[in-house]
Structure 1
């Protein structure tokens, strides 16, 4: 089938790709009581996105949330819905890929096909879909929907098959499957990207990785140390080989970039240790432990970053499973280069305050990545 995704920077020439994660939600990617944490005001989101767009970052990736984590900080209690968020940001930007995160149990394939085609036209081929099969039942209680933990990825794969067939075009079709019984399926317009917009999925469990190997162009997975990368990539590549596909693997990172290492580490300690929302972390561990398939030992590994290993402190205000990029511009550029050397194709990044901190990252870290050959200069339009 014809493939044309030339406008989507997710498939662009930069060897190591970068994007903004979770800025549509208050708290962003931190479980911290720090008063200077991200508030997710629309004007700030728009301004930050324009900076990322001008700097040549590859993507904006929002989180679909329907209720807060039940800690003192109540992070994610305020969030912007991702399809409307994507359409709005798409109209404000020129080059960055705009992803939308869709919960399979809540959105029909036909609705998602129509919505994603709309955003792909708004962005002239820069839309992307992040497929989430669901993990926190309390969020779905708000909609009166029950997640089948054993079948959620089977459900998600059938959903993807319908969604992608719709956007691939062709005559109307009926669908008689395990989870969907649908009549006279069609959509118009089709997406600009052919055969459909870029697809990503986050997979931590074995079933999640197998799903991504079948449906996604990009798999996001949790990594907290460089030493974990070879083993994780080896496991993921086994799933790809079994499905006869090759996809890019990304992780997610939290950035604290300061002129000196001491400043960066003290600030990280301030919001991630001193101001940590322990109740929010406990809620996360309890709810997430039902979905990863390996119990609390697997959840505990999400906290084993270099700061925890060096000090014994949990740094619980940093999001579980996020790779901490903490240090000077040289430190952070070096760690990103090491990620690339180990085989990762990119990472998402987050900040305690995105709008306040991203200019320094753009000014200091991106030129270092260019000099290292990981990224090229922003092309003139």
Structure 2
């Protein structure tokens, strides 16, 4: 079978962060996502039946403190994807990996295992990491040039998948003797690579190694600049790299109902201590957003980790996605306060509108 990320829909969708409590939110509302395994399975099956293309976990090792300590409870993403392989049929199952914390020989075998277990639906989301407190848990320092290390990391994986004989590797970050792995991924093809990056080094890495770049923006119009920039970089590498964005969704029958709920969970009942922890650490150590976004859009960070808000009626949300497609985005992820409560209504009400707009079959 062809990989779901290469399917026919012009605008593809993924469910993001259901493996972690709170999802992308920093809120204390009682209905906040708990990431119980039975609920995760239910959310994955809802997305799978609806034809959503991929299920993307977030990689977290430490919580964000505050009242909820959100993200402390999170499932490790290789085992997460492998476990979901037997519970789903068509949806792509990604693993999100902090390069410095996972050795490439292990990653290559784990990813191939998922590819076989899912009949070719595995995917890999490569991230550099930004939280020094998480790096400290592993006894390592945050890398000064993380994408240099990531370049070696993916080169090792590519060679493991293409070499029929053991090989040595002597790089700056990895020194390997007799490296080999089996089984290889299905169809002798490396699983789809997604790179979550905003910085120029991250975009350079994606242009050289990734199939898709996963990025954020302040507004849809500004997102066109990222797409143009990635296109200019891929001209130098001769590769075709699609660009995805990421959103958090509040979909309700009326605009006022959606906006009132967004205000409630992302402002009135936001976990402000956790929000302060996350934004201060990310602003100091990450290039995932424009610097002014942290101070101007606290609501977005409580509502969905700084991702773009889709708040309103099904028609409003569908119209926004049409604009994203027109700007050149290949697709977007969606996240919710509670996936099993809210994903069914999104699928029932928004997906038909996207089909009418020609974005999905």
Fold agreement, TM-score > 0.5: yes
Answer whether contact 2:33 2:337 (CA < 8 A) is retained: yes
Q: Is the 8 A contact 1:303 1:320 kept in 2?
A: no
Match of 1:260 in 2: 254
The aligned residue for residue 364 of structure 1 is 349
Give the counterpart of 1:301 among 271, 293, 298: 293
Q: Which 5+ residue runs of structure 2 have no aligned equivalent?
A: none
Of the three residues 228, 231, 235, the one matched with 1:241 is 235
Give the secondary-structure state (helix, strand or coil) at the position aligned to 1:50: helix
**Alignment match, 1:198:** 192
Q: What SS is found at the alignment partner of 2:194?
A: strand
Q: Distance in 1 between matches of 2:294 and 2:238?
A: 29
Query: How far has the Cα of 1:144 moved from its partner?
Result: 1.2
Give the TM-score normalised by structure 1.
Answer: 0.91
> What SS is found at the alignment partner of 1:317?
helix
> Could you give the per-residue CA deviations for residues 229-265 of structure 1, whole angstroms, max 9, x where no partner exists?
2222222222222333220101110011111111111
1:90-135 deviations in whole A, cap 9, x for unaligned? 1111000000111211211111111111100000000001112222
For residue 72 of structure 1, report the CA deviation from its aligned partner. Answer: 2.4
Is residue 66 of structure 2 the alignment partner of residue 71 of structure 1?
yes
Provide the rounded CA distance (Å) in 2 between the counterparts of 1:210 and 1:240. Answer: 8
2:328 is aligned with 1:343:
yes
The secondary structure found in structure 1 opposite 2:100 is coil
Tell me the residue number matched to 1:100. Answer: 95
Shift in CA distance, 155/174, structure 1 to aligned 2, threshold 3 Å: same
> What secondary structure does 1:93 align onto?
coil
Alignment of 1:24 with 2:15, yes or no, is: no
> Mean Cα displacement is larger for which, 220-229 or 260-269?
220-229
Which residue of the partner structure matches residue 171 of structure 2?
177
C-alpha deviation, 1:74, in angstroms: 1.1
**1:124 aligned counterpart, secondary structure:** coil
State the distance in 2 between where 1:326 and 1:173 align: 52
Take 2:10 and 2:292, find their aligned partners in 1: how far apart are those partners? 32
Judging changes above 3 Å, is the alpha-carbon distance between structure 1 residues 275 and 65 closer, same or farther for their aligned structure 2 residues? same
The 8 Å contact of residues 300 and 307 in structure 2, kept in 1 or not, is answered as no
Which has the larger displacement, 22-31 or 215-224? 215-224
User: Residue 84 of structure 1: SS of its match in structure 2?
Assistant: helix
Q: Could you tell me which residue of structure 2 aligns to residue 325 of structure 1?
A: 310
Q: CA RMSD in A?
A: 1.7
Q: Which position in structure 1 is the counterpart of 2:50?
A: 55
SS in 2 for 1:24: coil
Q: 1:216 to 1:22 in 2, by over 3 A?
A: same
Name whichever structure is richer in helix by fraction: 2
Alpha carbons of structure 1 residues 342 and 191: separation in structure 2 relative to 1, 3 Å:
same
Matches of 2:359 and 2:265, distance apart in 1: 30
User: How many correspondences in the alignment?
Assistant: 361
Residue 125 of structure 2 corresponds to 130
Whole-angstrom CA distance in 2 between matches of 1:199 and 1:351: 24
Distance apart, 1:227 and its partner CA: 2.0
Q: Give 1:334's aligned residue.
A: 319
